[in-house]
Amino acid sequence: MPHWKTLFCIALLSPLAMQAQDRLMDRKLRIQSSRISINAECMFATTVIEMTIYNPHPVEAEALETFRLQDGQVISGLELDLHGHFRKGSIEERWKASNAYNSVVGKRIDPALLQQIGHNYYRLNVYPVAARSTRRVRIHITQWLTWKNDRLQYQMPEIPGIGTDSLFVDVKIPQAASDLKAGTGIAEVLTLTKNESRAIQGHAFNVLLNKALAFSFSPGNKTMVQAGFNIQNQPYTVISLQDNFPDKQKIDYRSLHIYWDASASMKNRLLNEELQFLKKFLKQEKPEQLTVTFFNQRVLSSVVSGNSDEEINELIEYIRSYDPKRSFKPGKVPIHDPNGSPILVFTDGHQPLIVPKKPNMQSIIHCISSGNFRNDPYLNAVSEQNSGQRIVLNEKNIRESMDKIAFGSTGISKVIDGNQSIPFRALQYRPAGSRFIVLSHAPKNDVQVRMGTVRNDEALATSAQTPSHCNLPDSLAKPLHMLVQFDSVKSDRWMSLLSFGLKEKIVTYRTSFIVLERIEDYIQYKIEPPDELVEPCRQMNYVYNKAEKLRIMYGLSDEEHIQQLIGYMKPREQWWTKQSMKEIILRENQPTAQISVNRQGAAQTDAMFQSTAPGNINLNSSSELSSVVVTAYGTQRQSKMLGYSTRRISADELVQAKPVFVTQGLTGKVSGLLVQSLNNSVFADTRITLRGIRSLTGNNQPMLVLDNMPINLGLLSSINPNDIEDVTILKPGSATAIYGSDGVNGVIIVKTKKGKRSYYRNHFPGKQKLNNLEDVDYVSDMKAASSDMILQTYLELQKEYKNDPIFFYDMAEILHQKGFTDEAYEALYHCSELIIYPANRSSIAYMLESWKDFSAAKEIYRLILGQNPGNLAVKRDLALAYYQTANIDSAAQLYYEIVMTKMEDDFYGYTHSIQMAALQELNALLFLYPNEPNMPEIDPRLIFTLPEDLRISVCAQVNYFFLHVKAPITDSAQASFPPNTDQHRYRYYGYNNQVKEYSVYRAMPGKYKVHLSRNYYYQQGNEPEIYRLVTFKNFQQRGQKLEIQNLNLTYQYGDLEVGSVKW
């Protein structure tokens, strides 16, 4: 490049580079002066903090202020000074406001941004503050007033560095209040220019306010303040109550009831710690009446014990050794005591509990757990709702835990209007000395609030006093209603926070305030303009579209939701229309021929075919067939086992006495087996005889078989007993049938330890068929056992796999196949006890469905929905169970409920695939039963008639998967939806409850092979993971049929052919 061009570029770019560097970003500047205006109402206050920010630097800067609020304080407004006039901030989604601010700051235009950066932590950015100049900004805060010493008190949030040069404060309280007194900050720092009964004004100069401003006043009543207002014609009453009562009440443990969870999931608990805690607690309290009730998935038994040290020790040992012997069908366990005695529940929270509400018989319930696999939210709720304490023994020592459950928590037990108890909601926000109650109506009489525990609400009852009333105008009703509603918004529900923040115009972790200067920026970044800019924006052809914001604020209306569903169905409808038109054109342009087909067991069928197009003939059986087929997936080879006189010694039995030689471990284990050592040398010869001496001169020693290979018996002493899996003794006579004359003295079969085939990390390179994979060892052992040995084999294996839910799930399937129905149910229910993750508990219901026990399966689904009512995947499973049992109205009602559910927090759209599957299955139901009288009233726009030959869908409770269906004939004329032009590529991606489907307009004869790719996969605990393959044949056509296959993919991943659908 010529030198003059280089110099020109440098000259051109240098000012821009200097300009970019000639400013300070994210700087904490000095707050030069502050004006604080506080308006207190009957139970809340609004604060406006006006700050003048001074930039002492010689270059412009971006001001940064971070500050913290307390619970019960909310930022409800932001204003920025633009040319001597304050402009109100716009509330927007956080990402949208942040993006607009960062983009505009790069252009050196004037914006301000106020956002939440953590729990109660906030950040204010203002740009620019000119060199050695100032900018003004206002922050609005709405907060509760709290009680102290019969007075309502206010405390302003601390903003570090406020009021460096000057500070002005103006306080006003309501007309009904009196006796306003200045508190910390105001009394200590300010010079009061006005100090009246209902107003205070003051100022200070050259001070650094490092304390919160506070004041208090008398509300006119010493205990309660009551505010009534209407929001959208709905009356509300809010009561602010002084709480001088103790938070806890001493519990009388003269009578005590203990509920002990004896389910199989106890393996994850710290049993010794729980029993040690219980032992010390009982010896301390010495209850006169002591009952212990054991439960797993139902109440098992109860015992009564005395309170002497000896009796308590016996009780502890009885609990330690308690064995429920068997498992039962899952259900809710009732927790109650007929006399209202306090209850201690020792559980991990995975078994659902139910607490009956009986008047005057309510018990205080403490939930006690240990270990790392606990259902904490559930146990916390049970404890709080019953005035109890929540104890986690591996987080606190025994002394602290015992002190904690000595008391029951005090709460609001009743609200009485006149002589009648009325419903109420107590806010979760509970500052020291204060309680807040919300009523959904206006009381007719003076309100009385009773405090106490669930067991005793008389001892701490408040006196019935007339509260101070204040009927709020609409302008004040809205901020109070906002504070009430904000209490119930869950911080972990991001969509709830977003919609609430936008609707109430407050800062949350999902919403922020932003102020812009230029109209063009409001237009470019689609920010809602303040009132003063609405008309200028309209003149520039920009009218802010509130539809999207209103959708977020209030959710979809039913009409909008239906339109969204129709939009989801549109591509399928277009695909179906296109294929049907192609078929009509082909049928009109091609010759046809009639073909008659019959076979044994089916009626003769006549069909018309086009001569150049493949087709299908459906043969109708002459006998009636079920319209529903449910198959449990998994077929394996069978082998037989001869019965003979045997004795098996397990590894645990063999090494129980820590033997040096195998022969020492066998001594005394088998009747008729005599072991004699000939000398004391290392590897000494050993004489072994089985059932006595057969010959005086010949060989009397049994044959030795090591890992299926006959070897010299003398080598037995050289085998390490710890390397042996088991030893099987075959006694003479029947053993000869297997080993011939070599087994005439019996056979000792030694099986050494080796690596086992198991579920862990089974990754298969390339494509594999699921039913061709080798069984795990215990499945092979069970399938190889004869019918008279199957239970013995199961019991032997159970000793090794007693804490493995996958083992019991597999055993349930095998035992049921072998005809051991009772044992199969017990194994399945034992598996249910061991399952920790609720999503995996559906696998129990899937197995029950495959056994045709739909009633038990439905109970499992309802149990899961009781703990998680919003699980649409389980609702669909329940609807399918109703479908298969011809419970038409219940199936249709549940399907329609799924379809019309609006999932506000479904950010990634996981649930809409379930809704689409439910919508199509609902239409399949309507096709079969068009005149069912009890059908729910369904919007006619959601009723489709889109017949197709095959509809295949796969759903998983957990995990990623890719679905691919390979057609029997690769033919471009065969249309599938969604379109799949590549027969070797996985196209349909699913995750966490998503339903992925494959539909064929006109199916080809043969097998449609279903492949799943699970390379991006994790196993949720050591628990069964079952996928469901749901197939509709002749969907919305004559002969419509539903088939369901259960696919056991526990610890299996890679590219797997998991099943096939025959057409």
Predicted confidence band at 453 (pLDDT cuts at 50, 70, 90)?
low
| pLDDT value at residue 587 | 65
| pLDDT value at residue 48 | 96
| pLDDT value at residue 638 | 32
Rounded CA-CA distance 392/397 in Å is 9
Strands 44-54 and 134-144 come out as antiparallel
Q: How much is the average pLDDT of 328-352? A: 87
Question: Lowest mean pLDDT: which of 166-175, 242-251, 363-372, 910-919?
Answer: 242-251
DSSP string, 794-820: HHHHHHHSTT-HHHHHHHHHHHHHTT-
Q: What is the pLDDT of residues 618-645, one digit of tens each?
A: 656 555 444 444 433 333 333 233 444 6
Predicted confidence band at 473 (pLDDT cuts at 50, 70, 90)?
confident
Residue type at position 984:
H
Contact status, residue 111 vs residue 512, Cβ threshold 8 Å? no
| pLDDT value at residue 607 | 60
Contact status, residue 336 vs residue 355, Cβ threshold 8 Å? yes
Task: At 324, list the tokens.
Answer: 């429920």
Question: Lowest mean pLDDT: which of 807-816, 842-851, 979-988?
Answer: 979-988
Rounded CA-CA distance 262/322 in Å is 8
Question: Lowest mean pLDDT: which of 242-251, 435-444, 1044-1053?
Answer: 242-251
Provide the mean pLDDT of the chain: 81
| pLDDT value at residue 627 | 47
Question: Lowest mean pLDDT: which of 401-405, 505-509, 598-602?
Answer: 598-602
Q: Which of 477, 517, 583, 595 lies closest to 230 in space, CA to CA? A: 477
Q: How much is the average pLDDT of 521-540? A: 91
User: What angle (nearest 5°) sits at the alpha carbon of residue 426, between those of residues 420 and 431?
Assistant: 135
Predicted confidence band at 14 (pLDDT cuts at 50, 70, 90)?
very low
Q: Which of 415, 407, 298 lies closest to 351 in space, CA to CA? A: 298
Arch. (CATH architecture) of 24-207+489-550: Sandwich (2.60)
Q: Which of 302, 296, 300, 298 lies closest to 258 in space, CA to CA? A: 302
Contacting residues for 386 by C-beta, under 8 A, at least 6 apart: 355, 362, 363, 364, 365, 454
Predicted confidence band at 935 (pLDDT cuts at 50, 70, 90)?
confident
Predicted confidence band at 554 (pLDDT cuts at 50, 70, 90)?
low
Q: What is the pLDDT of residues 995-1016, one digit of tens each?
A: 888 888 888 888 998 888 776 5
Q: Which of 371-385, 616-630, 1036-1050 is most confident? A: 1036-1050
Predicted confidence band at 533 (pLDDT cuts at 50, 70, 90)?
very high
pLDDT(857) > 70: yes
Question: Lowest mean pLDDT: which of 405-419, 604-618, 776-790?
Answer: 604-618
Q: How much is the average pLDDT of 22-48? A: 88
Q: Is pLDDT larger for residue 990 or for residue 127?
A: 127
Residue type at position 254:
R
CA distances from 29 to 52, 67, 122, 208, 905 (A): 10, 14, 16, 14, 39
3-state secondary structure 657-698: CCCCCHHHHHCCCCCCEEEEECCCCCCCCEEEEECCCCCCCC
Predicted confidence band at 396 (pLDDT cuts at 50, 70, 90)?
confident
Q: Is residue 257 classed exposed, middle or buried when 0-12, 13-18 and 19+ CB atoms within 10 A define those classes?
A: buried
Please state whether the peptide bond connecting residue 947 to the residue before it is cis, i.e. omega within 30 degrees of 0: no
DSSP string, 487-521: TT--TT-HHHHHHHHHHHT--BTTEEEEE-S-HHH
Contact status, residue 250 vs residue 355, Cβ threshold 8 Å? no
Question: Lowest mean pLDDT: which of 95-104, 275-284, 655-664?
Answer: 655-664
Rounded CA-CA distance 800/813 in Å is 19
Rounded CA-CA distance 478/77 in Å is 14
Q: How much is the average pLDDT of 876-893? A: 93
| pLDDT value at residue 741 | 78
| pLDDT value at residue 698 | 72
pLDDT(282) > 90: yes
| Residue 1015 half-sphere exposure toward CB, CA atoms < 13 A | 9
Q: Which of 81-85, 512-516, 935-939 is most confident? A: 512-516
Q: Is pLDDT larger for residue 600 or for residue 432?
A: 432
Q: Which of 636-645, 726-735, 762-771, 972-981 is most confident? A: 726-735
Predicted confidence band at 315 (pLDDT cuts at 50, 70, 90)?
very high
pLDDT(617) > 80: no
- Residue 122: other Cβ atoms inside 10 A: 20
Predicted confidence band at 991 (pLDDT cuts at 50, 70, 90)?
low
| pLDDT value at residue 770 | 64
| pLDDT value at residue 530 | 93
- Helix and strand numbers, DSSP H then E, in the chain: 25, 57
Q: Domain 248-409: which CATH class?
A: alpha beta
| pLDDT value at residue 284 | 93
Predicted confidence band at 381 (pLDDT cuts at 50, 70, 90)?
confident
Q: What is the pLDDT of residues 141-179, one digit of tens each?
A: 999 999 998 899 998 876 655 557 888 999 999 888 888
| pLDDT value at residue 275 | 94
Contacting residues for 564 by C-beta, under 8 A, at least 6 apart: 556
Q: How much is the average pLDDT of 536-557? A: 75
pLDDT(610) > 60: no
Q: How much is the average pLDDT of 270-280? A: 93
Q: Which of 81, 183, 77 lies closest to 140 in space, CA to CA? A: 77
Percentage of residues in the chain having pLDDT higher than 70: 81
Q: Is pLDDT larger for residue 767 or for residue 782?
A: 782
Q: Which of 112, 118, 82, 88 lies closest to 100 in space, CA to CA? A: 112
Contacting residues for 310 by C-beta, under 8 A, at least 6 apart: none
Residue that has been written with the tokens 């009233």 in this structure: 937
Q: Which of 425-429, 954-958, 1033-1037 is most confident? A: 1033-1037
Contact status, residue 230 vs residue 478, Cβ threshold 8 Å? no
| pLDDT value at residue 283 | 94
Chain mean position to CA 934: 34
pLDDT(361) > 90: no
Predicted confidence band at 464 (pLDDT cuts at 50, 70, 90)?
very low
For residue 9, which phi and psi values (nearest 5 degrees)?
A: -65, -40
For residue 704, which phi and psi values (nearest 5 degrees)?
A: -110, 125
Residue type at position 832:
S
| pLDDT value at residue 266 | 78
Task: At 222, list the tokens.
Answer: 């010493």
Predicted confidence band at 1 (pLDDT cuts at 50, 70, 90)?
very low
b/e per residue 1003-1028 (b: at least 16 CB within 10 A): bbeeebbbbbbbeebebeebbbbbbb
> What 8-state DSSP symbol labels residue 602?
B
Rounded CA-CA distance 1029/1044 in Å is 6
Predicted confidence band at 812 (pLDDT cuts at 50, 70, 90)?
very high
pLDDT(963) > 80: yes
Rounded CA-CA distance 964/967 in Å is 10
Q: What is the pLDDT of residues 649-689, one digit of tens each?
A: 888 888 887 888 888 888 878 877 888 776 666 555 678 88
Q: How much is the average pLDDT of 53-72? A: 91
Predicted confidence band at 585 (pLDDT cuts at 50, 70, 90)?
confident
Which superfamily does CATH assign the domain made up of 646-752 to? TonB-dependent receptor, plug domain (2.170.130.10)
Contacting residues for 107 by C-beta, under 8 A, at least 6 apart: none
| pLDDT value at residue 634 | 32
